[in-house]
Structure 1
C-alpha cells in the first residue's frame, strides 16, 4: 500500500541512499523503478511500484503502469522470483483501501502464485510489542487468512538492512521463478487488461464509484436548489463541494473510457508503445 515503506525497504536492502522516499501523506513513487544489487553473489532486481489507492494516480492508472511493465517482462521471458507485500503494522485498523488493495493484489498475482508471496509487516518501531503482536494476529486470522491458506508467508521486517537482506535471501532460496496471473492472461491468452481478473476488479470498482459519485452530485444539486440564497457562505461551500464531486465523477468516467479503449489494442501494440516511451530500457 501507499505509505507502507516499499521504497525505504529497497533503499535498505540495496544500500542505495538516492531513492526518493516519501515522508508525508502523499505518495512518492509515481512511476516504476528498477534497482539492482548483489545478494549472496546473485544479481537481484527490485521493482518498486506505486500502490493501489495512490494519492496521485487512480487504480486504473496504477494497474496500467504495472501491466505495461509485466507485459514487456513477459515478452523477454523475464520471470519474478517473489513478491514482497508490505503492510505497516503501525496502522491502527485495516481500512477499505487496504482490503481493496489486497483483493487487487490477489487478482493480479493469481492463487497458484501466492506461495511466492511474503506478507511483510513494517514499521515495528512505531508500536509497542503488545500492540504489534495483536495487530499481526488480526491480520493473520482475518485479513490474510486466505493468502496464508495458499501458502503465502508472513514475516516481520525490523527496518534494518540485515532484516531486509535475510528476508530476500530466504525468498530466493525457497521460490522458483514464475509469471504472474496477469502476465499469462495478457501474454499467453492475449486478453485485454479490462478482461483480466485484475482488470475486472478495477471495472467493478469503477462502476461502484460511478454510482456513488452520481448519487453525491444529485444530492449536492438538490441541496443547492434548496439552500437559502441569503446564506452566501453556505452556498459557496456547497458549490465548492459540488464541483469537487463533479471532478471525481469525470475522472471515474475517464478511467472507465480508458479501460474500454485499451481493450481494442493488441498486446503487440501496447508493448511497442511502451518501448517507444523508453520505459523498458532498464530491463
Structure 2
C-alpha cells in the first residue's frame, strides 16, 4: 500500500526479478496512477527454506493509493476491503502489510498524510507488528540528505506506528531487487516463528470489523476516517468555489475551470453519501442477527 507514485508496482517487479519470475505488473511513468484495480501476484516454490511454512505460496497484492487519478477514494476502499474480507473468510494467512513511501519527496504532503491515516485505520493498533514501512527512491537523492528525512519520518509521522512494533526498511539504491526480497523474507521469517493457525487468527482491524463484528463497510473505522477527510475537503472546496464564482465574470476559460471544479465537488459529495449506512440497511442487519441468534 501507499500513495500514488510511491513505487508499489516497482517494488513488486523488483521482487519478481529477484526471484527469477517472468511476470511483471504495469508501472506508471507519469504523474497519474496506473493501478486502479487490486492485482494479486502468486509466487510458488519460494518457501522451501522454512520449516513450518514450507510449500505455502506467496501472494503479493498491488493496491491503488487513496489519491487515485481515475477512481474515487470510496471505490478504492471498497476494493481493498472486499479483498481483505474474502481472504479472511478463506482463512488465508496475512503475513504482513508493506507500506511504501517515496523518500525523495521534499515534504510530507497532505496526500501522504491522508494515505497514512487511512492505512492506520485499515490495520488497527493490534496489527502494527505486521507492518513494514518501506522507503523508496533513494536513488533520487541528488545531494540531499535523505537520511535526515528518514529520521523525521521515524521521529514524527511514523513514531506511533513504530511504538506499536511496526518496522522500517529501505529499498537501497542500486539494490532494489535484493532489498524487496529482504523485506518479504523478513515477513516470512515472522510468520515462521508463529504457528500457522495462530497467524490465520490474526487479522487487520477492518477484517475483524467486516467478518467478526459483521459491520457494513461505512461503519468501519477506515470508512469513518475517509468520511471525515472528505467532509473537510468538501467544505474547503465549497468555500473556494464561492469565492471563485464571484471573480469569474465573463471569462469563458475561467467559467469552464469553475464548472470542472463544481463537478469534482459533486463527486466528492456523492462519495460522502456512499459512506453512510441507511436506516433500512441497519434494520435488515439487526433483524438478521436477531433471527440468527
TM-score class normalised by the smaller sequence:
0.7 to 0.9
Whole-Å Cα distance in 1 between the matches of residues 143 and 214 of structure 2? Answer: 48
Q: Is 2:196 the counterpart of 1:196? A: no
CA distance in 2, matches of 1:191, 1:12: 37
Which ranges of 4 or more aligned residues in structure 1 deviate by more than 4 Å? none
**Match for residue 256 of structure 2?**
240
What SS is found at the alignment partner of 1:45?
Answer: strand
Corresponding residue of 1:33: 39
Residue of 171, 180, 192 corresponding to 2:204 = 180
Give the aligned partner of residue 16 of structure 2: 14
Q: Is the 8 A contact 2:218 2:277 kept in 1?
A: no
Q: Are residue 139 (structure 1) and residue 141 (structure 2) matched?
A: no
Post-superposition shift, 1:261?
A: 5.7
Trace 1:265-280 onto structure 2 (pairs within 5 A).
Answer: none
2:129 pairs with 1:107: no
Identify the residue that residue 53 of structure 2 maps to in structure 1.
none
Say if 2:36 and 2:76, in contact at 8 Å, map to a contact too. no
Q: 1:36 to 1:7 in 2, by over 3 A?
A: same
Residue 156 of structure 1: aligned partner:
170
Contact 2:5 2:31 in 1 (8 A): yes
Tell me the TM-score normalised to structure 2 length: 0.82
Deviations 1:43-63, CA, capped at 9 Å, x for gaps: 211011101112222221111
Structure 1 unaligned residues grouped into runs of 5+: 230-234, 268-283
Question: What is the alpha-carbon distance in structure 1 between the residues aligned to residue 117 and residue 62 of structure 2?
Answer: 19
**For residues 167-211 of structure 1, what are the alpha-carbon distances to aligned partners after superposition, in whole Å with 9 as ceiling and x for unaligned?**
111111124533110010011111111111101001101211221
Query: How many correspondences in the alignment?
Result: 259
Change (3 A) 1:62 1:262: farther
Q: Which residue of 1 aligns with 2:130?
A: 116
SS of the aligned residue for 2:276 comes to helix
Normalising by structure 1, report the TM-score: 0.85
Query: SS at the partner of 1:93?
Result: coil
For residue 259 of structure 1, report the CA deviation from its aligned partner: 2.2
Q: Distance in 2 between matches of 1:124 and 1:102?
A: 20
Cα offset for 1:128? 5.0
Give me the whole-angstrom Cα distance separating, in 2, the residues matched to 1:88 and 1:262. 39
Given that 1:4 and 1:87 are in contact with CA atoms closer than 8 Å, whether structure 2 keeps it comes out as: yes
Partner of 1:253: 269
CA offset digits 1:220-240 (Å, max 9, x no partner): 33224xx3x5xxxxx113212
Q: In the aligned structure 1, how far is the partner of 2:278 from the partner of 2:142?
A: 47
Distance in structure 2 (CA, Å) of the matches to 1:35 and 1:262:
36
Unpaired segments ≥5 residues, structure 2: 49-55, 286-293
Q: Aligned to 1:39, what secondary structure does the other structure show?
A: coil
**1:249-271 CA deviation, whole Å, 9 max, x = no partner?**
1101211222236883889xxxx
Deviations 1:25-56 (A, max 9, x none): 11111101010114342421101110111222
Cα offset, 1:241, TM superposition: 2.4
- Distance in 2 (alpha carbons) for counterparts of 1:256 and 1:181: 22
Q: Answer with 128-137 or 237-246: which moved more.
A: 128-137
SS of 1:260's equivalent in the other structure is coil
Structural RMSD (CA): 2.0
